[in-house]
Amino acid sequence: MEKLTKPIVPNFLLGVAGGLQYRNFARSAKNPRKCQEKTLREILAIAQNTEYGRVHHFKDILKAQDDVALYKLYQQNVQPNDYEDLRPFVERHKNGESNILFPGKPALYATTSGTTKEPKWIPITQRYLRDVYGKMNLAWLYTMIRNRRKVFAGKLVSIVGKVIEGYAPDGTICGSISGFSQRDCPQWMKDLSPYPFTIYEIEDYTARYYSIMRFGIEHNTTLIITANPSTIVEMQNNVNEYFDQYVEDIEKGTLNASMNVPDRIRESFKPFMKPNPERAAELRALKAKYGTVLPKHYWPDFQLLTTWKCGNTKVYLDKFKDSFPAQTFHQEFSYYATECRFGLVVDDTSNTVLCPHMHYYEFVAEEDMDKPDNDKRFWQLHELQTGKRYITYVTTYAGLYRYNMNDLIEVGPRYWNTPSVFLVQKVNGIVTMTGEKLHERQFIEAVRAAEKELQMPLHFFIGFADLDLSAYRFYYEFENLETTQEQAEIFTQRVDELLKEYNQEYKSKRDSLRVKDPVSHRLQHNSFETFKAQCIAEGKRDGQFKLNLLLQDEGRHEKFKKLVLEN
């Protein structure tokens, strides 16, 4: 195996540029109250002459004499938003209008799944690219060398989305925020990649994983960057299945001809491939010795793995426990969404310290989340209580105002005077096992469409996320109780197809095998009525009884498992 290089250049550059941004972050954390007022005032001042700013009286809000008055006026003039509230303004930007949510037009759009059939197009301004995906990324990379000085001594394997997935009507590009971040990373970091970035354009996920790992295991890789830990599981599954083909390709300097990789992309791989019989022999020896070859075998110098470790993603961590070398530092990726990069992880916990100088935050206590907006108490960043749970709202430099993230977070220890937070789960009808963010509304629409298409009416239905299986379980009470299990599976196949149409993140996770095939179950007659009666008998008040139709809730799931018809 090739020897590690001394990471003098990356460590020096990150020590200077990244260290500067990290110190700015630390300075802001010392006085979050002052910093939050400054941040909100600046956001409102920038947007005061836009369409949204005029309608919502930003100039008048800015006349407030102190932070308390500022927040009060902001809450009075701007109601909490979800994406559908902002979609009309975004659509005007997409069609070429300027000065709607912010001055000018977006530099690009980052796309992600929404609560309807239409995806969210999150506008990203040039300033947001420079500060949030520029300065914060430098601080983030700086935390890596603080944790492992040799992290950039070998090759870097990262898994990101496509930079360009489409275009707005006015020609502005849209794509994956991870792809944009990769595109704009420092040149020295690009030079550490063992393959060209065209690799992320491979549509076939098996072929994409194959290509990434074929290049990755040839080299002495020391860092993996990917948000979803489920991706690590799938990459290792690919290694287990295709190890012998990898070795043959490495030996000959080729890429397996059976893999569905377009000729244009294959051509771009040629400068990165040459016969390497020495490495091939090492890999064959590892398989002969261990049988199942793991990262700790083919990457013995590996330094740092960064993925999410919070929320529902924790279920995947046990699946590669002890797979990496003992010196590996597993760093939390941080609380990060397409809409907002919230902060940095500064230690070996899964807590993200929020950035008071990059966004303005508001919070609603968990116990108040179901109250009407006008009855909710909105807490400021400096007011959060350790150990309590809140729903997150964010205002950004990129046109999101009092935006409800639908995330339940728990507050951890403070860094200086700024709270850290831990993502618990999505709320309000959104379920996510590995980033698919499947909304209850999408599930209902898919089931209703399948009912109509297949002429298989239902009396009741419900879906549950099964984290251990990494799949959804769909339960149906068909009006025709003679419906067979085979027919139920045909019904589920159609629901699955529709969900892929409605939710691009779900499609991505299904295509990449991170979310497995959904499982079908047929329910007994009057299953909902039986379930409700059980809940009331256990003390649930009838007047307060309500049930989402897409859940991650093992207590309720167990009750429905007992109502399944035998095959």
- Mean predicted confidence (pLDDT) in 149-169: 92
Spatial neighbors of 148 by CB under 8 A, at least 6 apart, are 303, 304, 327, 329
pLDDT band at 358 (very low <50, low <70, confident <90, very high): very high
The answer to whether the beta carbons of residues 294 and 236 sit under 8 Å apart is yes
Mean pLDDT across the stretch 336-345?
93
Mean pLDDT of the 479-507 span? 95
Give backbone dihedrals phi and psi of 388, rounded to 5 degrees, phi first. Answer: -85, 160
Long-range pairs, 446-450, Cβ under 8 A, ≥24: 446/495, 446/498, 446/499, 446/502, 447/474, 447/495, 449/494, 449/498, 450/491, 450/494, 450/495, 450/498
More confident site: 224 or 131: 224
What's the rounded mean pLDDT across residues 199-215? 93
pLDDT in tens, 255-310: 999 999 999 999 999 999 999 999 999 999 999 999 999 999 999 999 999 999 88
Q: Which carries the bigger pLDDT value, residue 427 or residue 236?
A: 236
Mean model confidence pLDDT for the chain:
92
CB 311 within 8 A of CB 336: no
Going from the C-alpha of 450 to that of each of 56, 445, 497, 515, 519, the distances in angstroms are 42, 9, 10, 21, 16
Determine the Cα–Cα distance for residues 90 and 52; give it in Å rounded to an integer. 11
Does residue 331 have a pLDDT over 50? yes
Residue ranges of the domains in the chain? Answer: 31-124+349-426, 140-332, 430-561
Confidence tier at 544 by pLDDT (50, 70, 90): very low
pLDDT of residue 39: 98
Which pLDDT belongs to residue 542? 41
**Is residue 14's pLDDT more than 80?**
yes
Longest CA span, the chain: 73
Using a pLDDT cut of 90, give the percent of the chain over it. Answer: 74
H/E element, 393:
strand 389-395
Total-model pTM: 0.83
State the residue for tokens 């025709």.
Answer: 480
Q: What is the pLDDT of residue 212?
A: 96
pLDDT band at residue 111 using 50, 70 and 90 as cut-offs: confident
For the ranges 140-149, 229-238, 335-344, which has the lowest average pLDDT? 229-238
| pLDDT score of 225 | 95
pLDDT computed for residue 540 by the predictor: 54
Dihedral sign, Cα of residue 237, residue 239, residue 242, residue 244: negative
Task: Give the mean model confidence (pLDDT) for residues 349-368.
Answer: 95
| pLDDT reported for residue 507 | 93
In tens, the pLDDT along 379-389 reads 999 999 999 99
Average pLDDT, stretch 145-163?
93
pLDDT at 543: 39
Q: Which residue has the higher pLDDT, 559 or 535?
A: 559
> What stretches of 268-322 adopt beta strand conformation (E)?
304-307
Q: What is d(CA 494, CA 491) in angstroms, rounded to the nearest whole number?
A: 5
Q: Does residue 560 or residue 429 have the better pLDDT?
A: 560
